[in-house]
Amino acid sequence: MKKLFIGVLLICSTAIKAGEAQTLPAKNFNAVFELYKSGLLVAESQYIFRQQQQPNFKSSSHLKGFVSLFNESEIAEQSFFDTSKNHIRLTQYQYKQTGDNNKQISSLVDWKRQRITTIRNDQKEIITPFKNTIWDKHSLLLALMSNAQKNDKELNLQVLDKGIVKLYKFIYTGSKEIELDEDEWVVTSVWQRQTGNRKTVFYLDPKNHFIPLKIEQHKNQQQATLWLKEINWYD
């Protein structure tokens, strides 16, 4: 099973630089998303963010519908942060996939040496140097939610991607009203990231802590859509 995608306003034109201080969402939450391809439900994901003690963000994804009869793959991810010095510091990222394509990834972030040690399965460790704020592909959702409210048109983030630090660029493209249920419409803040032939579009709810209501991924004339099914907020 391929990794489920998910691992961000029009007044100011200044971009957020990769090295600037970042923030985390103001409230804890528990969200459930459903993934559709060609109009069919194929997977479900749960995302949980907690700030107490050591802030962490975890998710679990499993197949649903017809495809689940032939593949029992599941994916679990977790990101840990240190916020003790008024900075957001990623300290650890874990990824585990079971089923047909077993895979484990563990990344430890050493802020004193400014390097990341990543181990994929039982392969040789990968050492990656970095500077300033760093995110992983999983915690990008938090970065998008917490920074989309800053009225900027562009968001640039340093992201750990398969043991390599890459610059992810998100562009604000305006607001759009989308239909959630019959006769229920919400005006969303729309952000987009494009790389090669893949485009991912995020529809964020500005009245609900910028949680994504819908995420679309377009690639090779095919589209997958992730819909928010349920959200609960906690203090």
List domains and CATH numbers for the chain. 28-234 (2.50.20)
pLDDT band at 191 (very low <50, low <70, confident <90, very high): very high
pLDDT digits (tens, 9 = 90+) for 3-24: 444 332 222 223 334 444 467 8
pLDDT at 88: 83
* Strands (DSSP E) found in the chain: 28-37, 40-50, 56-63, 74-82, 89-98, 103-110, 115-120, 126-129, 135-136, 154-161, 164-181, 184-195, 198-205, 211-219, 222-234
pLDDT at 76: 96
pTM for the full model? Answer: 0.86
pLDDT at 92 over 90: yes
